[in-house]
Structure 1
Amino acid sequence: MAPASPRQGRHAAPDSDPLFERLGVTITSETLELALTHRSFAYEQGGLPTNERLEFLGDAVLGYVVTDHLFKSFPALSEGDLARRRASIVSTHALAHVCRGLGVGAHIRLGEGERRTGGADKDSILADTFEALIGAAYIDHGPVAAAALVHRHVLPLLDDPQIARAGTDWKTKVAEAASRHSLGDVRYEIVGQGPAHDPRFRATLWVGGTEYASAVASSKKQAERDAAAESWARLEADLPTARD
């Protein structure tokens, strides 16, 4: 018998069988329902259990499996390089990318507010849910199945240059370059816009007296990260070593 589909309030979620096929693991209906229950839905339903405990477990499994793989597969890499590779594929952006490919968003049980504002496609919600699904696989089938889920869907991101780029700490990269070459202070000029339920922030990077790129995002921190990433190519060209 196929596992029962998760409920999403008044909105029926898609049948879970195709999700299981894409994940490559079957999760019992009770555990699956918990893994897909966002706190916004739980609050509106009077305080149901949420997926946060499973997310906590899945995050630990994810970190261990990725670290173990990198340590064994890249014996020549330094600790710093290993850490950067790990950060690139366990980042919120990377895990959200995995979830979109699997179609997880349509299955998440969300509160009305989150549903209205596109919560099923928010990076943070998708990433947290994927970690909860890893935790669910661990609970139902143990560490081998949970590790296999990570190997199947997360480790292949090591070969994706776009994920690697998104996982780079561009703000730190910019700050280090500016300090190393005495380019002046690094600052981000922030302008907020949009309604309270869907804020948008424009961040513009300045290094010394030079204005670089701008970026718009739903949070100040993400706007700053994106502005730094967009500015890097031009900033790198301005470095003294690039002109020597």
Structure 2
Amino acid sequence: MKNIELLEQNLGYQFKDKNLLIQALTHKSCKKSYNNERLEFLGDAVLDLIVGEYLFHKFGKDAEGDLSKLRAALVNEKSFAKIADSLNLGDFIFMSASEENNGGRQKPSILSDALEAIIGSIHLESSFECARNIALKLIENNFPKIDAKNLIKDYKTRLQEITQGTIGQTPEYETLRAFGPDHLKQFEIALKLEGKEIARAIAKSKKEAQQMAAKIALEKLENLS
């Protein structure tokens, strides 16, 4: 486990309450009386507002639908895990030995949740403005070209265009299950073509899981061609 002061240097923020940072870095597998789930819940809402406000001002002429797509492209597990990787966040997370042996330090879900918890804790300890400044710096460093062309990858539309053009069929998306507590709900989606399952994915929303499943299906089609 690395010294958490290195993480503070990477963030550009020094915590007044080190226990708050430790809580933000504590995965539930530790089985302690505290973990980062509540801070992750708060950070998720804070980041959603930060990115929404940022895009509102940056793209003053874009319609609501385009702004929603841009926000969804930034506020998701994959994007947050990428930012977490840039901070080497996995090296600082407290987790059980079994979770670590299971590759926990590289799991996108754990990295993303820890990042959200950290932003939530900065907001809680300091201010929304401070959390915003740090979050936007991290976002801009990891996504230097923030525009629709570079961020919005509508895999569902691309897949539908291909399948309609080749077999005259539209993909079907079936929700297999929804699980987890309300603030950490996960959805498992199966993508079917002509009644056969082609791919499946799990994400925090049905839309994100559908996009992930469509991406997997596209990759499979590309490998066949």
TM-score (norm 2): 0.73
Larger Rg: 1
Matches within 5 A, 1:33-52: 33-41=22-30, 43=31, 45=32, 48-52=33-37
Amino acid at match of 2:3: D
Tell me whether 1:18 sits opposite 2:3 in the alignment: no
Partners of 2:193 and 2:37 in 1: CA distance: 40
Amino acid at match of 2:40: E
Preserved contact between residue 29 and residue 99 of structure 2 (Cα < 8 Å): yes
* 1:94-122 deviation digits (Å, cap 9, x = unpaired): 00000111011011011222111111110
Distance change in 2, residues 1:146/1:218 (3 Å): closer
Q: Give the corresponding residue for 1:81.
A: 66
Partners of 1:232 and 1:75 in 2: CA distance: 37
Matches within 5 A, 1:37-186: 37-41=26-30, 43=31, 45=32, 48-156=33-141, 157=143, 159=145, 164=150, 168-171=153-156, 173-175=158-160, 178=163, 183-186=168-171
CA RMSD of aligned residues (A): 3.6
SS in 1 for 2:51: helix
TM-score (norm 1): 0.68
Distance change in 2, residues 1:53/1:91 (3 Å): same
Could you tell me which runs of 5 or more consecutive residues in structure 1 were left unpaired when the two chains were aligned.
1-12, 189-203, 235-244
Partners of 1:206 and 1:217 in 2: CA distance: 12
SS in 2 for 1:159: coil
Amino acid at match of 1:140: E
Q: Give the corresponding residue for 2:183.
A: none
Could you tell me which runs of 5 or more consecutive residues in structure 2 were left unpaired when the two chains were aligned.
174-189, 204-208
Partners of 2:126 and 2:34 in 1: CA distance: 21
SS in 2 for 1:154: helix
Number of residue equivalences: 198
Distance change in 2, residues 1:224/1:216 (3 Å): closer
* 1:125-169 deviation digits (Å, cap 9, x = unpaired): 0000000000111122111111111111124426169x956x634
